Amino acid sequence: MEIMYKNTRDASEMVTASQAILNGLANNGGLYVPTEIPKLDVPMEALSEMSYQEIAYEVMSRFYTDFTEEELKTCIERAYDEKFDTPNIAALKVAGRACFLELFHGATVAFKDMALSILPHLMITAARKNQAKEDIVILTATSGDTGKAALAGFAGVEGTKIIVFYPKDGVSPIQKKQMVTQVGDNTLVVGIDGNFDEAQTGVKKMFSDAVMNQELAEHGFRFSSANSINVGRLIPQVVYYVYAYAKLFRNGKVSPGEKINIVVPTGNFGNILAAFYAKEMGLPVAKLICASNENKVLYDFFTTGVYDRNRPFILTSSPSMDILISSNLERLIYRLCGEDSEKNAALMEELSTTGKYTITEEMKEGLSVFYGNYASEEETKEAIRKMYETNGYVMDPHTAVAACVYEKYRNETGDDAVTVIASTASPYKFTRSVMDAIEPDNTESDDFKLADRLAELSGVAIPQAIAGIRTAEVRHTKTCAVDEMPDTVRSFLWN
Ligand SMILES: *Cc1c(COP(=O)(O)O)cnc(C)c1O
């Protein structure tokens, strides 16, 4: 069965999977959604014998129907290799009352690696399939994390270049070190004299600059974006939920057909939407538990049916969830509207003009598989401490938000079904917050020394991705003013 991709805001647009991956965003700012969620018609007995890569093929081939078997298998092979520090790619660890699905064994020790390691390969394959001869140029502005994960994914991938702009004085020392030590001749990392918003605006301007796009085409390049709304990022995230269930099944933790709950620390709503897709494919899932930090727009939305971004933006210890507009939620809203692109477009228009929208009672009923709640900063810290003291397991603050919300859910409902918590970052990525929770008296000011101490306490070795940057050579020293960004791009690409 051929799966096509339609636009959530324009019923007249319909493209193939490879075109959706290549385009990223649909017309009028809409998102691409599959015309149907395919069924995972492989018995669990068979899936439970498969490797991560084999399951990835089973899931992705059902969504990306215009890719050949060889194309997809090549992408998967190139993505899920020794860049990951476990041959299983994702790891399942039992601690306390839940199973942690560790999604942080890739190049930047956070879950974005799961999708960003395959996106470049999907993109160049998609380009070839659509007779796009140009090399792909990824332009990104970053406030820290996404930039590094994208760099790691695209580095050394033939047919692509990646240019990352970051605010020179606006990222943490470790984040900066991670980026400026990036290897790969196709990578460029530039610090700008300005803040993140200016970097972001500069990048957006280049994307929409007709003259610059023309110049690029003349030199054999085209811009593309590695944004989290790309279906080339969304679908690879479905894989690990299927993988987790298959592992539980194999280990006798669930019996045939037994439903599990999934808890996801949520920001842009991509990861939890992937879990929803897994459920729609037929994976036995009962509740999808959406965990927020103090920026609890989603919790309020699930409770009231009103999505309202008009509120103060709170900086928390789980920065990747400090988000007021969860872009991927639009895909769910579109479904709740009965796939009516006009209704959806009207709600999104309201969001952009007034900062809020309200869904109908009928639409709200469609949200019953979700449970939303949030954790305060104090609760998050307490969750890290308690988990460490009772089970010896160390969680990063994002995962701790999820664990805390799971406890709230259990206390409220008494539901003791097998539950998987998506564990989205290594504690070593947020050493300071983690150490503040488990050893509050420690006054060490050097982050690397703190990491050494965390290794002693947790018995988990410092991942190579963190240890390596201590001594790595700085390869990117370029800085520029905001208005010099286009010339910086030109001179990297063809001067
Ligand atoms: C991006 C990110 C999240 C949020 O995931 P979404 O798909 O945006 O909801 C959670 N934790 C970490 C560590 C992340 O990097």
Q: Does the pLDDT value for residue 310 go beyond 90?
A: yes
Q: Is there a domain that residue 9 lies in?
A: no
Q: Report pLDDT digits (tens) over 321-372.
A: 988 889 999 999 999 999 999 999 999 999 999 999 999 999 999 999 999 9
Is residue 60 in some structural domain? no
Which residues lie below 8 Å from residue 286, measured CB to CB, with a gap of 6+?
Answer: 259, 260, 261, 369, 415, 417
In which domain, by residue range, is 383 found?
91-110+232-461
Q: Is 139 within the bounds of a domain?
A: no
Taking the C-alpha atoms of residue 287 and residue 290, their distance in angstroms, rounded to an integer, is 9
For residue 422, the domain's CATH number is 3.40.50.1100
The per-residue pLDDT for 173 is 76
Residues within a 6 A CB radius of ligand 1: 110-112, 145, 228, 265-271, 320-321, 398, 424-425
Q: How confident is the model at residue 207 (pLDDT cuts 50, 70, 90)?
A: confident
Q: Atom 11 of ligand 1 has which residue's CA nearest to it?
A: 424
Alpha helices by DSSP H, 355-481 = 361-365, 377-391, 397-413, 431-438, 447-458, 464-467
For the chain, the average pLDDT equals: 94
User: Could you give the 3-state DSSP secondary structure of residue 361?
Assistant: helix
Distance 425 CA to ligand 1 centre (A): 9
**From ligand 1's centre to the CA of 68, what distance in Å?**
30
pLDDT at position 238: 98
pLDDT score at 234: 97
Instruction: Report pLDDT for 353.
Output: 95
What's the pLDDT score for residue 294? 97
Closest-lying ligand 1 atom to the alpha carbon of residue 398? 11
Residue closest by Cα to atom 1 of ligand 1: 320
Q: Is 42 exposed, middle or buried (0-12, 13-18, 19+ CB in 10 A)?
A: middle
Q: Which of 269, 321, 401 to mutate to test the pocket of ligand 1 (most atoms within 8 A of CB)?
A: 321
Quick check: is 450 in a domain? yes
Q: How much of the chain exceeds pLDDT 70, in percent? A: 100
Q: For residue 66, what pLDDT band results from cuts at 50, 70 and 90?
A: very high
116, 271, 328: residue to mutate for ligand 1 pocket, most atoms within 8 A of CB: 271
In a domain, 400, yes or no: yes
* 112 is known as an active-site residue: yes
Using the CB atoms, write b or e for 405-435: b if 16+ within 10 Å. Answer: bbbbbbeeeeeeebbbbbbbbbbbbbbbbbb
Alpha carbon of 319 to ligand 1 centroid (Å): 9
Q: How confident is the model at residue 15, as a pLDDT?
A: 97
Give the pLDDT confidence of 138-194 residue by residue, as tens digits: 999 887 778 889 999 999 999 999 999 999 887 777 788 889 999 999 999 999 998
Residue 443 in any domain: the answer is yes
Does the pLDDT of residue 428 top 80, yes or no? yes
Structure confidence at residue 34 (pLDDT):
98
Nearest by Cα to 196 from 237, 232, 144, 153: 144
CB 85 within 8 A of CB 103: no
Q: Which of 145, 240, 268 to mutate to test ligand 1, by most ligand atoms within 8 A of the CB atom?
A: 268
Q: Which two tokens stand for residue 169?
A: 């004085």
Number of domains making up the chain: 1
Please report whether residue 146 resides in a domain.
Answer: no
Q: Indicate whether 286 belongs to any domain.
A: yes
Q: How far apart are the first and last CA of the chain?
A: 47
Please give the Cα distance from 281 to 173 (Å, whole number).
42
> Is there a contact between 426 and 455 (Cβ–Cβ < 8 Å)?
no
Segment 98-146, tens digit of pLDDT: 999 999 999 999 999 999 999 999 999 999 999 988 999 999 988 777 8
Q: Which of 6, 83, 112, 429 is catalytic?
A: 112
- pLDDT over 90 (residue 279): yes
